[in-house]
């Protein structure tokens, strides 16, 4: 297991918000991740919530703006917040657009050149990073949940739907729910996966498609969506498609439309306690 290097640490609500770097085997570059260690870790291991951020974000956005530390301390959970993509690889085109390449890994394992050797965020967040967290921190390995925002909501959903039983619970805010049918998703999948638009290769990374054939432990999916989210009106998120598919498959989805809220961290910080409480219910059961 590679070594980790402490970048920063700040005491918060009796615990510690820390940031580390390590050399990633999956991504073949140095990666940063944030870890909030609640005060309960001084007595022993506690459950973990993985938080996946959205387009353009780094690990810093959520840990500085998400207002999660207070509630992580209250409910006794570690929160792990990775970066959203590899960085500094000098791949041609990686910095050309804000919604593809750097800061926009889309939590898939790329199969297309030149991305396939480094852009393996799915394997990073579901395998490499949890193994690292379990070894280096006081985490209970079999008690983990996952959540995310926007592109990170997409990442959280596919992590759960492709790995039945691996996570205790899942939730998302403003998630990209049907990427094969939205502009962001089509751009990302065309670049990272190639193939024909909408083919089986794409459907394997789409939560609306995956939920149609989900066969695993009963899920209780929590989604918060702001009604003033401009990406909702631009058909980037499509939560209604996921809800319809889940209903047909018998998967429980609680979609809460939050009047007047947008896509920002003001929205995230307002409802983050509900999401941590949602996960704590299953992590502590």
Q: Which of 145, 150, 169, 171 is catalytic?
A: 150
Q: How far apart are CA 174 and CA 147, in angstroms?
A: 11
Count CB neighbours of 25 within 10 A. Answer: 15
User: What b/e string do you get for 180-209 counting C-beta neighbours within 10 Å, with b at 16 or more?
Assistant: bbbebbebbbebbbbeeeeeeebbebbbbb
Q: Spot the catalytic one: 149, 154, 263, 279.
A: 263
| DSSP conformational letter for 101 | B
How many Cα atoms are found within 13 Å in the side-chain-facing hemisphere of 64? Answer: 8
- 9: β partners: 18
* Given 83, 109, 206, 229, the catalytic residue: 229
Reduced to 3 states (helix: H, G, I; strand: E, B; else coil), residue 255 is strand
Query: How far out from the chain centre does Cα 246 lie?
Result: 20
DSSP state, residue 109: B
Token pair for residue 54? 């959205």
Query: Catalytic: 249?
Result: no
Confirm whether 263 is a catalytic residue: yes
279 is catalytic: no
Give the pair of three-digit tokens for residue 122: 């799915």
Active site positions, annotated: 150, 229, 263
């Amino acid at each position: 297991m590679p070594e980790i290097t402490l970048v920063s640490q700040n005491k918060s609500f009796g615990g510690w918000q820390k940031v580390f770097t390590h050399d990633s085997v999956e991504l073949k570059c140095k990666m940063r991740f944030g870890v909030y260690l609640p005060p309960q870790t001084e007595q022993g291991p506690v459950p973990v919530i993985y938080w996946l951020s959205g387009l353009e974000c780094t690990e810093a956005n959520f840990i500085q703006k998400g207002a999660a530390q207070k509630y992580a301390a209250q409910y006794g959970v570690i929160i792990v917040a990775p970066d959203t993509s590899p960085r500094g690889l000098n791949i041609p085109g990686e910095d050309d657009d804000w919604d593809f390449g750097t800061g926009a890994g889309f939590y898939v394992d790329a199969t297309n050149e030149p991305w396939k050797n480094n852009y393996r965020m799915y394997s990073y967040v579901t395998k490499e990073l949890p193994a690292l967290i379990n070894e280096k921190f006081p985490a209970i390995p079999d008690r983990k949940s996952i959540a995310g925002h926007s592109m990170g909501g997409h990442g959280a959903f596919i992590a759960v739907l492709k790995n039945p039983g691996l996570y205790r619970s899942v939730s998302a805010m403003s998630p990209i729910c049907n990427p094969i049918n939205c502009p962001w998703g089509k751009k990302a999948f065309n670049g990272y996966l190639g193939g024909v638009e909408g083919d089986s290769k794409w459907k394997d990374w789409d939560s609306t498609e995956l939920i149609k054939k989900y066969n695993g432990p009963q899920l209780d999916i929590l989604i918060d969506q702001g009604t003033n989210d401009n990406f909702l009106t631009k058909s980037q998120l499509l939560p209604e498609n996921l809800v319809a598919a889940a209903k047909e498959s018998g998967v429980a989805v609680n979609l809460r439309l939050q009047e007047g809220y947008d896509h920002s961290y003001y929205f995230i910080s307002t409802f983050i306690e509900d999401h941590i409480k949602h996960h704590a219910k299953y992590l502590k059961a």
